[in-house]
Structures are given as structure tokens and as C-alpha cells.
Amino acid sequence: MTQAPQSVGLVTAQCAVFDAPFQLQGGAVLPGFQLMYETYGQMNAERSNAILICHALSGNHHVAGRYTAEDKYPGWWDSMVGPGKPIDTNRFFVVGLNNLGGCHGSTGPASLNPATGKPWGSAFPVVVVNDWVQSQALLADRLGIDKWAAVIGGSLGGMQALRWTVTFPQRVRHCLTIASAPKLTAQNIAFNDVARTAILADPDFHGGDYYDKGVVPRRGLKLARMLGHITYLSDEGMGGKFGRQLKAEGGYQFSYETEFEIESYLRYQGDRFADVFDANTYLLMTKALDYFDPARHFGGSLPKALEATPAKFLVVSFTTDWRFSPERSRETVKALLDAKKSVSYAEIESVHGHDAFLMTDEPYMQLMHAYLNRVAEEVGV
């Protein structure tokens, strides 16, 4: 264990095609679909060492490594996944995928609708967290994985991890739900609704059917991302990083141009996101967040929803996360305790707000390392 953690190196994305019609919870049936995914590490002979990584709102299947040596950035959770890293690819077989409805190669609103030969656009059905879990289970079947050593996710990804234990109680050994919540509050929904309204109101949105119009609703998507970004950072963290610093010297400009550093940063983030992300997928992801409420079909009781699973749980929250505050994680913990489950809970001191789940605060990394070490020992790798 003295070797420095390394990267998984060069990776290749794969595509799993599912031809059978796929029933969604909202009533629609997809005539088959495909999922982009990546794997890192080796499956052991007992097929007991597989870990599923579920992504959040803007994530995808590219979790770790690089596609080419020249890639500027590695996968989105390269800090967590790799040889010697907390999710150790020397021990685990790790699977990352792009969720159904995504915009990184998995079937989504920008994909061709076989019935029309044109992009789905507005005709692509609303997808919920449980639909993702069902589709992920098909991928698990395809890969020959009966039971995950762990299902792990932050934010919306943590919701998928939690939902796995409800839908497939026997197929998860450990559930790690990080910076997440058992359901959204009115304020959470409100933020999502402003983001959606920004996209829906963009004249370039064309009711969702913009793909053949030569435009994309980038103004709306940019606004959605700027707003989202504020809620991912903490007041404290933003203050430390940007404060009231001005972009240029010489004092106030007395104009409505970008002037404070924080404005410049936010608009840049918004623009960059609008360059690479699909607005319809953004709508779909926020709606999946709003709808998530696993207790709903169990008379509103989360303990009842979680009753059937023998899985063990790690719940992690971050002190300055106000999007999904520690209080929300404690709701999950309470439900798990009420359901008499084995649960560990950590509230990590961090200035990084909701984004902390993607960061490398030492206590967080140590916790993940220690917990996953236990998981590895349990499954004998």
C-alpha cells in the first residue's frame, strides 16, 4: 500500500444494445435502447467484486482514465477510481455508464427515433430514477453481475444507489449514497423549475424539437447551469475563492458588463456547459430529481421501502452542502435505522458545498478508502 495511486490509464467506451421493448414507469415503452459504459479493473472468478458508479445530473460513463494520451481532462471521478485509489481498480471491477436519456451516447432525446428516422426531441419520454435502475440491471445481466459489491453515487447518483436497494434488494451488497437526499424539498424543486423555465422559454428551444433547426437553446441552458452552479458551491467557498474581487483593475465600471470575478466564472461555466450538453437531457435529469421519492409507493414510509434489503449502507454528507444538506442525509440515516439496517454515517467538514462529493478533502478520501477496503475484504479481493 506504499505505492502512489495511479490512473487507470487509457480507456475505451463500450456500447450495450438492448433490443427488447423497455417499459418506462411513466407508461411509455421504448423500442429498445443502448447504453454507453466503461469498465475498469478485472472481474474476479466469483463475480463478486463489481462496483457500479451512478452519475449525477451532468455526468456520464467516462468515470476514470483518458481516451488518448493527449486528453486534457480524465474522467469525472478519476480522483476516486483507479489503482490504489479509494475505489481500487486493482481489487474491484468498476462499471460506469451514461444513463438512459443522457447525451453522451446512450439513447436519449438527441438519438434517432426509429419510428420517424428523426431525433426523438420532445417525443422522448420522461425517465425516472427507477427506470435508470431497471436499465442498469439489464446492463448488469449482460455483464454477468448478479450482485454488486457496491453501488455508489453522489447527488442524483446517490438516489440511484438508494433506489437499487429498493428495486433489487438482493442485488446490492453495499450502498454508498453521498451528498444526496431521500427526496427533493420544495426549494430544490423550485431551483430545478427555474432552470427548466429558462430552457423552455428560450426561443431556440422550439418545444424540444430544435435538432433539425440548426440552433440549440444555449441561452436557456447557460442560465440553468449558472444557477445550478451557485447551488453546488457553498457561500463560504465562493467567498474564499472569489469574494468581491473585480475582473479588471480600476474600480467599478458602472455598466452591466461582466465585472466581478464570480460573474466571469459563472458565465464561463455556463457557456462551456451549453457547448457540450443537451437541453432536453437537462430537462429530463431535473425531472428525475423532482420525481424521486422511493417512499411514495410504500405509503410514504422510507423505512418500509428499504425493509427488504440485506444491504449495508454508507451515507456521507458535507457540512457546507446546502443543495442536499447534512439534514437530508440524516433523514436517510434515520429511515435506515428505523428499518434496522446496518448504516454508517459521516458528516464531512468541507468548504466545497455540494461539489464536495467530487473533491478530494482528505477526511472524505480516507473514509472512502477505509470503507471500500472493508468491502474488498468482505468479497475476498
Annotated catalytic sites, by residue?
155, 321, 354
Residues 6+ apart with CB under 8 A from 202: 217, 218, 219, 220, 221, 279
User: Of 81 and 233, which has the nearer Cβ to a copy of itself?
Assistant: 233
Residues 6+ apart with CB under 8 A from 134: 22, 167
Binding window for a copy of itself (CB under 8 A); candidates: 39-47, 60-68, 111-119, 283-291: 283-291
Distance CA 11, CA 65 (A): 6
Can you tell me which of 32, 239, 310, 363 binds a copy of itself, judged by CB under 8 A?
239
CB atoms within 10 A of CB 245: 10
How many residues at the interface with a copy of itself, by CB under 8 A?
Answer: 55
**How far from the centroid of its chain's Cα atoms is residue 191's Cα?**
17
Distance CA 106, CA 124 (A): 13
> Does the annotation place 355 within a ligand binding site?
yes
Stated as kind and residue range, the H or E segment containing 38 is: strand 33-40
Can you tell me which of 70, 73, 244, 249 binds a copy of itself, judged by CB under 8 A?
244
User: Of 291 and 318, which has the nearer Cβ to a copy of itself?
Assistant: 291
User: Of 50 and 127, which has the nearer Cβ to a copy of itself?
Assistant: 127
Pairing of strands 33-40, 14-18: antiparallel
Distance CA 345, CA 369 (A): 15
Amino acid letter for position 149: A
| Binding pattern for the stretch 145-184 against a copy of itself, x by CB under 8 A and - elsewhere | --------------------------------------xx
Does residue 185 interact with a copy of itself by CB under 8 A? yes
Which residues belong to the annotated binding site for substrate? 225, 355
Residues at the site binding a copy of itself, with contacts judged by CB under 8 A: 25-28, 125-126, 183-187, 189-191, 193-194, 196-198, 200-201, 203, 219, 222-223, 226-227, 230, 233, 235, 238-239, 241-244, 252, 254-256, 258-263, 266-267, 270, 283, 287, 290-291, 293, 322
